[in-house]
Amino acid sequence: MTNTTPKKPSRIQTRNRRLILDAALDVFSRDGYGGATLDAIAKGAGLSKPNVLYYFEGKTEIYVTLLSQLLETWLDPLVELDPDGDPVEELLGYVRHKLDMSLELPAESKLFAGEILKGAPRISKYLRHDLKPLFDRKCHVIQDWIDSGRLAPVDPAHLIFSIWATTQHYADFGAQVAVLLDADDPSAGAHAHLEQLFRSLLVPPLPKD
C-alpha cells in the first residue's frame, strides 16, 4: 500500500518551508517573478540556495505555492458574504474587510496583483477552478438581493470588480497614494470614502415596500 502523499512533514520541514515562503513573499512582491532571485529568497530565509532547493523543486514551485495559498486567504471574506444578512450591510462589511486586508497585508495584495498584471500565466487555472465558481455564486446572491428589492439594481460582477479595485488600490498603488496624500495614513479617509461611495450606490431607491 504505497502512499502517494509522502509521509507527514517533519518539524524542520514545516519551519523551513515557512521561512522560505515568508522570504519569497517579500522578494516576489518587491521584484516581481522575473526580477526575483533564488539567492535573495535564500538570504531572506537565512538558508543557502541549495538548501532552499531541497525544500522546493525550483523558483516556480515556490511562486505557485505562495500564490495558491494566498488565494485562499484572499477569497475568504468573499466566501463569508451571507445571503441571509442585510444586503447593504453585508456588502459594506465586505468592503471594510477587504480594505483592511489591503492596508494590513500590502505585500500579499501586490504579489497577486503582479501575477494578474502579467496575464496570470501561472495561476489562471486556480482562477478558473476556485475563483470563478465562487464569483458566480456570489453574483447570484447579489442578483437575488436586487430582485427582492433590498439592493439598488447594479451589475453584480462589475460591483465586485469595483470593490476589489478600490480597496486593493491602497495596497497595490500605495507608493502613489503616499506621494499624493499629505496625510501619512490613508486608512481613515479611505474607509470613510468607500463607505460613502458604495452606500450611495447600493441603498435601494425605495423602502422595502
Partner DNA sequence: TCGTTGCTTTACCAATTGGTAAAAATTTTA
Partner DNA sequence: TAAAATTTTTACCAATTGGTAAAGCAACGA
Residues making contact with a copy of itself (CB under 8 A): 30-36, 110, 113-114, 116-120, 124, 127-128, 131-132, 135, 152, 154-155, 157-159, 161-162, 164-166, 168-170, 172-173, 175-177, 179-181, 186, 189-190, 192-194, 196-197, 200-201
Smallest distance from the beta carbon of 12 to DNA, in angstroms?
4
- Among DNA, a copy of itself, none, what does residue 73 contact (CB within 5–8 Å per kind)? none
Nearest CA to 168 out of 157, 177, 158, 181 is that of: 177
- Select 36 or 81, whichever has its Cβ closest to DNA: 36
- Among DNA, a copy of itself, none, what does residue 105 contact (CB within 5–8 Å per kind)? none
Nearest CA to 161 out of 107, 98, 73 is that of: 98
Smallest distance from the beta carbon of 7 to DNA, in angstroms?
6
- Select 51 or 176, whichever has its Cβ closest to DNA: 51
Distances (CA, A) of 118 to 5, 22, 32, 123, 124: 32, 22, 10, 11, 11
Smallest distance from the beta carbon of 97 to DNA, in angstroms?
35
C-alpha cell at 147: 430582485
Q: Do you know the residue count of the chain?
A: 209
Distances (CA, A) of 182 to 122, 126, 179, 195: 38, 39, 8, 21
